């Protein structure tokens, strides 16, 4: 009886396996959005018109372009526009950010738009979120060949995440100096993003790691190995 029951149950098991196999491509497709680009907000954000006239705001993953008020900000927007405006693109969505934007890798056929922006020197690798190591290689090549923003004077070439952090800091200039200049929290000894900018200003390896990973101070990791301030973190 046991063998007969097992044999009788085989068609049911086969149907379950077949159903799972059929659903897997649908789940993969659910992570992708296709549509026509109808607007460019800046060098790393655009608006997509998808099926059903659905408008989706998309943020390019793993890269960061100069803000509009930064040097090369408008040029970065022009570069993205020249690549994708009015064209049909496929977005592989990896996340949704706090602004409700779909964050993803963008493709026109086989062209990786995120990587192309790096290759052209129109964007930085976003250290805090980057996972694709080939982007660092493309950035190094663009830097060596002085493409795009890498042709700017050093004084004008500031990573956008550092620029945004500095701008946020400037908004607190009305607060008393006793609070504005604090770089270490007095409650529990925890670190907070403050006004320190160099390894020489870091009090410990732990603080250097905090500024690199939480505050986006990429200059502390000059060789991009994930370890800041070699003197503090040998």
Please indicate whether residue 62 is annotated as part of the active site: no
Three-state DSSP at 45 gives strand
Strands 54-60 and 102-108: parallel
Beta bridge partner(s), residue 82: none
Beta strands in 178-219 (DSSP E): none
62, 101, 127, 139: the catalytic one is 101
CA–CA dist 44, 116 (Å, integer): 12
62, 67, 116, 139: the catalytic one is 67
4, 6, 36, 59: the catalytic one is 59
What is the phi/psi pair of residue 44, to 5°? -130, 15
Chain centroid to Cα 49, Å, comes to 22
- Give the N- to C-terminal CA distance of the chain in Å, as an integer: 69
Please indicate whether residue 101 is annotated as part of the active site: yes
| Residues designated as active site | 59, 67, 101
């Amino acid at each position: 009886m046991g063998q007969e029951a097992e044999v009788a149950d085989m068609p049911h098991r086969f149907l379950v396996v077949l159903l799972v196999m059929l659903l897997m491509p649908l789940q993969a497709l659910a992570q992708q959005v296709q549509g026509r680009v109808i607007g460019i907000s800046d060098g790393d954000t655009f608006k997509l018109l998808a099926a059903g006239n659905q408008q989706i705001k998309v943020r390019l993953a793993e890269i960061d372009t100069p803000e509009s008020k930064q040097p090369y900000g408008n040029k970065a927007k022009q570069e993205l526009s020249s690549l994708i405006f009015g064209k049909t693109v496929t977005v592989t969505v990896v996340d949704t950010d706090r602004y409700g934007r779909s964050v993803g890798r963008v493709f026109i056929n086989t062209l990786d738009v995120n990587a192309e922006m790096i290759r052209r020197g129109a964007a930085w690798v976003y250290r805090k979120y980057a996972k694709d190591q080939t982007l660092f290689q493309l950035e190094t090549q663009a830097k060596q060949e002085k493409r795009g923003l890498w042709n700017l004077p050093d004084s004008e070439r500031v990573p956008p995440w550092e620029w945004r952090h500095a701008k946020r800091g400037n908004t607190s200039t009305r607060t008393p100096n006793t609070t504005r200049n604090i770089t270490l929290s007095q409650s529990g000894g925890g670190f907070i993003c403050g006004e320190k900018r160099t390894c020489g200003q870091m009090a410990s390896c732990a603080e250097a790691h905090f500024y690199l990973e939480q505050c986006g101070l990429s200059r502390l990791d000059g060789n991009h190995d994930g370890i800041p301030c070699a003197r503090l973190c040998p």
